[in-house]
Amino acid sequence: MSKLVIVGTVAFDAIETPFGKTDRILGGAATFIGLAASQFNIDAVIVSIIGGDFPEEYLDLLSNKNIDLSGVEIVKDGKTFFWKGKYHNDMNSRDTLVTELNVLADFNPVVPEDYRNAEVVMLGNLHPLTQLSVIEQMEVKPKLVILDTMNFWMNNALEDLHKVIKKIDVIAINDEEARQLTKEYSLVVAARKIHEMGPKYVVIKKGEHGAFLFHNDNVFFAPALPLEEVFDPTGAGDTFAGGFAGYLVKTGDFSFENLKKAIIYGSTLASFCVEKFGTERMENLSGEEIHKRLHQFKQLTQFEIELS
């Protein structure tokens, strides 16, 4: 089976949206990426760190989805990373109220031996040097390295971020981050500048307005499915990335044409994630539901037009 390495946070989240709030629930970028990728029946390992306070039932939830947790370090007397966020009424923007790094402050990722030849590496949002260390541990050059990052690292570790961007194949960031990274307003110009920094493929996510895929002069755009209910956008970006990476691992085809399909899978999975708080919707998502939504996606974007 083809393999995927996922590095990122496994966390406690507390979320407030206009529709309600939660206490500490299961969260973290690697959690959402793993849950989405698990839909593709591939060998996926999470490389992360948690404290002794992390409930066994959350670990069971992930391993029952066949996600390999052998790369998750448990610091018995430490506390798990905690994040608290509050969404504004538009549900597109949010304030971070609390970030407690806890055990993440001393995280030295170790990729399990069996995964050092994985075809795809998904670098979730973390310090760029942590991301770099994962790339350096790979014994066989991966076919595709995908990176997510955020404005925080652009503000605080830009030089290190450039070091890792130089070594990856796909960057997946949102429109604001692309603008900040390049100081360009036009996303087309921003994508070109990011290409020059290293990545062959540039994915720019626009939340409920879909996602772009740039590859040299080729551009592809997928809208997000218009949904009746958006309950909690937390993890949508990571779920998108997990669906994107999972599909590529499954198919083993890293061409532009196939990356277009991966974008559709990523968008489809993300459309489920936002329907409930935290990971709830992703925990019981069936293949049949995904299949149905892919059909809706196709209908949404297909049209016949005669061009002479």
Name the residues annotated as catalytic: 238
Six-digit token pair at 223?
A: 């809208």
Q: What is the CA radius of gyration of the chain?
A: 18
Pair 6, 43: CB distance under 8 Å: no
Q: Does 80 bind ligand AMP (CB under 6 A)?
A: no
Q: Does 109 bind ligand AMP (CB under 6 A)?
A: no
Query: Which among 8-16, 130-138, 154-162, 260-268 is the span making contact with ligand AMP, rule CB under 6 A?
Result: 8-16
Q: Does 99 bind ligand AMP (CB under 6 A)?
A: yes
Query: Which among 21-29, 64-72, 242-250, 280-288 is the span making contact with ligand AMP, rule CB under 6 A?
Result: 21-29
What residues form DSSP beta bridges with 100?
A: 82
User: With respect to ligand AMP, which residue has the nearer C-beta, 15 or 43?
Assistant: 15
Which of 40, 54, 58, 83 binds ligand AMP (CB under 6 A)? It is 83
Q: Which residues contact 141 (CB under 8 A, 6 or more apart)?
A: none
Task: Kindly state the smallest distance separating residue 303's Cβ from ligand AMP, in Å.
Answer: 31
Q: Does 51 bind ligand AMP (CB under 6 A)?
A: no
Q: Are strands 218-222 and 211-215 parallel, antiparallel or unpaired?
A: antiparallel
Which of 7, 27, 135, 169 binds ligand AMP (CB under 6 A)? It is 27
Which of 2, 5, 28, 49 binds ligand AMP (CB under 6 A)? It is 28
Q: Does 11 bind ligand AMP (CB under 6 A)?
A: yes
User: With respect to ligand AMP, which residue has the nearer C-beta, 199 or 278?
Assistant: 278
Q: Does 237 bind ligand AMP (CB under 6 A)?
A: yes
Q: Does 34 bind ligand AMP (CB under 6 A)?
A: no
Q: Which residues contact 40 (CB under 8 A, 6 or more apart)?
A: 246, 247, 249, 250
Q: Which residues contact 151 (CB under 8 A, 6 or more apart)?
A: 176, 177, 180
Task: Kindly state the smallest distance separating residue 96's Cβ from ligand AMP, in Å.
Answer: 7
Which of 9, 149, 182, 268 binds ligand AMP (CB under 6 A)? It is 9
Per-residue burial over 55-76, b = 16 or more CB atoms within 10 Å of its CB, e = otherwise: eeebbebbeeeebbbebbeebe
- Report the alpha-carbon distance of residue 27 to residue 35 in Å, rounded: 11
- Report the alpha-carbon distance of residue 124 to residue 6 in Å, rounded: 7
Judged by the rule CB under 6 A, the positions of this chain that interact with ligand AMP are 9, 11, 13, 27-29, 83, 99, 125-126, 152, 234-238
